[in-house]
């Protein structure tokens, strides 16, 4: 008889992917909070999860809802400005790298495209699962991801620009 794994093993197996998804959807500042809220909620519900469930899709679904909560809470806190410069996300310590550019480009995508790109390309979920999370059909999810990728390629020109370090 094989039962459900200890939750520790769930965190070890999926923690990094869910953190990447949270960062892609929310940016680095709010990602930690969304990750923490998501895993706490997941741990609460874990004993009731059907044994044959797709754990990663389930976790990304919970993280998606928590990311929406975090975004709403941030919007309530925020003081509205007349105009927000389009500069986007600041790059990491090693300077204004391509990483900063692509992260900024992703931040500027419409929410649905950003989510579709993150859940399909970062979390590796098939479009049927992405559609279950976002609502709508698998085809619509595929289109949202394709539109997002097309926009990313326009604002992140040249494709393979980075040289391997």
Partner 1 sequence: MSTDELARELARDLARTFPAAPGENELAGELARDLARTFPAAPGELGRLHDRLAAAAERDGILDVAYRTVDSPVGSLLLAATEQGLIRVAYASEGHEAVLQALAMRISPRILHAPGRLEAAARELGEYFAGHRRRFDLPLDLRLSAGFRRTVLSHLPEIGYGRTASYASVAELAGRPKAVRAVGTACATNPLPVVVPCHRVVRSDGRMGGYLGGPDAKRILLSLEAAA
Q: Which is nearer to partner 1, 57 or 106 (CB)?
A: 106
Does position 24 interact with partner 1 (CB under 8 A)? The reply is yes
Residues in the chain: 165
The residue (of 36 and 54) whose beta carbon lies closer to partner 1 is: 36
**8-state DSSP, 53:** S
- Residue 50, SS3 per DSSP: coil
Could you tell me if 109 and 163 are in contact, meaning their C-beta atoms sit under 8 angstroms apart? no
For residue 126, the tally of other CB atoms under 10 A from its CB is 15
Site for partner 1 in 97-156 (CB under 8 A): 98-99, 102-103, 106, 117-118, 121-122, 145-146, 149, 152-153, 156
Shortest spacing between CB 15 and partner 1, in angstroms: 5
Token couple for 14: 């999926």
| Residue 41 near residue 17 (C-beta atoms within 8 A) | no
**Contact positions toward partner 1, by CB under 8 A?**
1, 3-8, 11, 15-17, 19-21, 23-24, 32, 35-36, 39-40, 43-44, 46-47, 98-99, 102-103, 106, 117-118, 121-122, 145-146, 149, 152-153, 156, 159-160, 162
């Amino acid at each position: 008889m094989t039962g459900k794994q200890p939750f520790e093993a769930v965190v070890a197996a999926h923690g990094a992917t869910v953190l990447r998804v949270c960062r892609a959807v929310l940016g680095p500042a709010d990602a930690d909070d969304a990750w923490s809220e998501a895993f706490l909620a997941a741990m609460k519900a874990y004993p009731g999860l059907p044994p044959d469930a797709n754990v990663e899709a389930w976790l990304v679904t919970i993280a998606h809802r928590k990311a929406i909560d975090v975004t709403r809470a941030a919007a309530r806190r925020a003081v509205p400005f007349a105009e927000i410069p389009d500069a986007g996300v600041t790059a990491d310590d090693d300077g204004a790298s391509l990483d900063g550019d692509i992260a900024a480009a992703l931040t500027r995508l419409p929410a649905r495209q950003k989510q579709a790109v993150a859940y399909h390309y970062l979390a590796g979920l098939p479009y049927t699962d992405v559609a279950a999370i976002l609502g709508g059909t698998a085809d619509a999810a595929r289109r949202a991801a394709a539109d997002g990728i097309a926009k990313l390629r326009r604002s992140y020109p040249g494709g393979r620009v980075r040289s391997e370090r």
